[in-house]
Structures are given as C-alpha cells and as structure tokens.
Amino acid sequence: MAQRMTRPRVLIISPAAASANNGNWHTAWRWSRMLRPAFDATIALGWNGEPFDVMLALHARRSAESIARWARSKGAAENAQGLGVVLTGTDLYRDIQSDTQAQASLQYARQLVVLQECGAEALPPALRHKARVIFQSAAAQEALPKPTTELRVLMAGHLRDEKSPRTLWDAARILQPHTDIFIDHIGEALEPALGAQARACMVACPQYRWLGGMAHDTTLQAIAQAHVLVHTSRMEGGAQVILEAVCSGTPVLASNIPGNVGMLGADYRGYFALGDATALADLLLRCRAELDHDNGFCAQLSRQCALRVPLFSPATEQAAVRDLVNDLLDANP
C-alpha cells in the first residue's frame, strides 16, 4: 500500500442517531473510534455529496438512498469505488429477499460486511465473493460471583417483533410456580402493544420484571450479574448483546437461527427452537437444577462460550475494520 500524505476521510452512515441507543449506533460509534487517528472518521445519518474517500453504510435498506447516491457519484452500477455496506439481520433474513432498494445496495457495494459466520450464506451466490466477516467486540470482563440458591436470568433488547419477546413471556408463565428463578428484561417498548404485554406478564408472574430502557453501562453490569442471558430473536445480523455476555462470563440461551449460530458456533448446546417457550423453560429449569454443579449445564455452556471470547476482542475487530477501509482505498484508482 502506498504511503498516504493525508489521513483518508471515512464516512460511516448509521440509520440511527445516538438517542436510539441501538446496535447500529453502537457499531458506528465504536468503528469511528477504532479508525482514529489513522483515518478521519465521521458518523452521519446520510450522505449528500460531501468529499470522503470511503463510505461504510450500515443497513442495506435503510441507508439505500445514500448508497445509491454514492454509486451514482462514482458512475457505477455495481462495485462502486470506496463503498462498503454492513448488513444487519433484517437485511440478510428479510429485506434482500424482496426489497429492490436493499438488493440494489448489494450490487453497488464493493465490499459487503456480515457480522457473524453464517451471514454470507444468506447472500445470492453470485455476490458472496464480496463478503467478509467482521465480528463486533466487547472488552473482556471478569466473571462476577453469583448465588447458587436462585437462578438469575436476563434478556436485554428493545421490545419489537424481531426480538420475539413473547417467547420469554410465555416461558415466564410456564416457570411461574418456580419461585427460585428470577427473570429481568431490559429494553424500551418500541411497539406500545409489546409494552402492555410486558406489564401484563409482570402482574401474572411476580418473578418477571420488565425494567425498561437502561444505559449501556448499566446493562453490561446486569449481564455480568446474571447466571444466563436469554436471546429469543427471530432474526439477527450478529447480536452485540450475545458477545457482551460471552465476554462477561455469562452463558447464553439463544433461539436456533443463523444469526445466533454464527455467533456461538454450530456445536453450541444452548439453543432452543425459535418461538419454543417450553424448550426455553426446560433449559432454564436445567440451569437451575444443576447450578451448583461444577460440571452442570450452565458450567458447560460457560466453557463453550469462553472458547469464543478471542473472536470478540476489540483488537481483532479494530484490525478487521482498518483492513476493510484500506482494501476499499487500495481499490480506488
């Protein structure tokens, strides 16, 4: 790579602002910090023609207008100079199947980024050569001591249909007679009807608490204090909360969908079928029954999760993001 006299300018398009406190924003913010000081990195909601050397657009559909505008500025119908598109779960497992703007974004991109190992399998075969995996990251945290007389369960994610929170509520009702299993649920009600259902579950199940939205640092502390994180999603591009749990020494019970398997590995033992509240409740009962066993179910899951920690290190993510930008720069004439 030829030496550059000035810092290349990189624009990161996030369809969500900081106030949304969601995965898109956290990825954009983290990547902007990882690119500095080698690159001049800026976050914006869209691109309107300002001079940048590289654009990394999060979300093929929601950032489609900026992606198309960038490609037109380069005179490209495909493989536009300096353009990387980062694909979310709704991109991979819904939008690119039918949305013409999302499909066009795949063509315009010179590089496609997926955030877990199974992501490229959802792409059209002719475009998979553009894809690279960049795992997101979290700082490793020392595992916190936890009681053995009760099971503390946490789910963290805003209340919306893609996260399938009803699976958790149905499991909480099944577990209602078990007074030594406590379930906390962090996340804002992005769909008001789901907030009403969370409140109804609290009335029916005293061991379930919906805590609403919380600051990221507070959520990380709650993850570290839990025995197990539950992740019930219908679709995921690569859930940050899963790797945050893994890096905190907290094992995960997750729906068996590609986005979760791509994070935790095909041989992970903590999966339940999507929407199967009975299977989730059974896994939680097994966690509780074997909680004080050195080779119990939670302990086995913790050891499996520990093997994934190196994939989610900040240094690994930073190197991958910088490689992406340098490759996009080197592809420019």
What pLDDT does 305 receive? 96
Considering the segment(s) 9-136+313-330 as one domain, its CATH architecture is 3-Layer(aba) Sandwich (3.40)
Average pLDDT, the chain: 94
Pairing of strands 40-44, 181-186: unpaired
Written as six digits, the tokens of 320 are 């991958």
Distance CA 115, CA 178 (A): 37
197-245: per-residue pLDDT in tens? 999 999 999 999 999 999 989 999 999 999 999 999 999 999 999 999 9
Is residue 104 within 8 Å of residue 210, measured between CB atoms? no
Is residue 83 within 8 Å of residue 60, measured between CB atoms? no
What pLDDT does 19 receive? 66
Distance CA 46, CA 55 (A): 10
* Residue 241 Cα distances to 2, 62, 81, 195, angstroms: 38, 22, 33, 20
Distance CA 262, CA 175 (A): 29
What pLDDT does 16 receive? 75
What contacts 12, CB < 8 A, 6 or more positions away? 28, 31, 32, 41, 42, 43, 44, 55, 56, 58
Written as six digits, the tokens of 298 are 């939670």
Q: What is the percent of the chain with per-residue pLDDT over 70, rounded to a whole number?
A: 96
Written as six digits, the tokens of 251 are 């094992």
Q: Is the dihedral of CA 105, 243, 263, 251 positive or negative?
A: negative
* Helix/strand/coil for 182: strand
269-313: per-residue pLDDT in tens? 999 999 999 999 999 999 999 998 888 999 999 999 999 999 999
Residue 183's identity, in one-letter code, is I
What pLDDT does 24 receive? 81
- pTM, to two decimals: 0.90
Q: Map out the domains of the chain as residue ranges.
A: 9-136+313-330, 151-311
Which pLDDT band holds residue 1 (cuts at 50, 70, 90)?
A: very low
Which pLDDT band holds residue 68 (cuts at 50, 70, 90)?
A: very high
**Average pLDDT value for residue range 118-134:** 97
Of the candidates 111, 180, 132, 182, the one whose C-alpha atom is nearest the C-alpha of residue 153 is 182
What pLDDT does 109 receive? 98
**Average pLDDT value for residue range 40-64:** 96
Is residue 133 within 8 Å of residue 119, measured between CB atoms? yes
Pairing of strands 83-86, 131-133: unpaired
* Residue 304 Cα distances to 136, 156, 184, 221, 297, angstroms: 18, 21, 24, 21, 11
pLDDT at residue 2 tops 60: no
Of 15-29, 177-191, 204-218, the least confident: 15-29
Distance CA 243, CA 259 (A): 12
CATH superfamily of 151-311: Glycogen Phosphorylase B; (3.40.50.2000)
Pairing of strands 131-133, 111-114: parallel
What contacts 221, CB < 8 A, 6 or more positions away? none
pLDDT at residue 144 tops 90: no
Asked if the peptide bond before residue 51 counts as cis, ω within 30 degrees of 0, the response is no
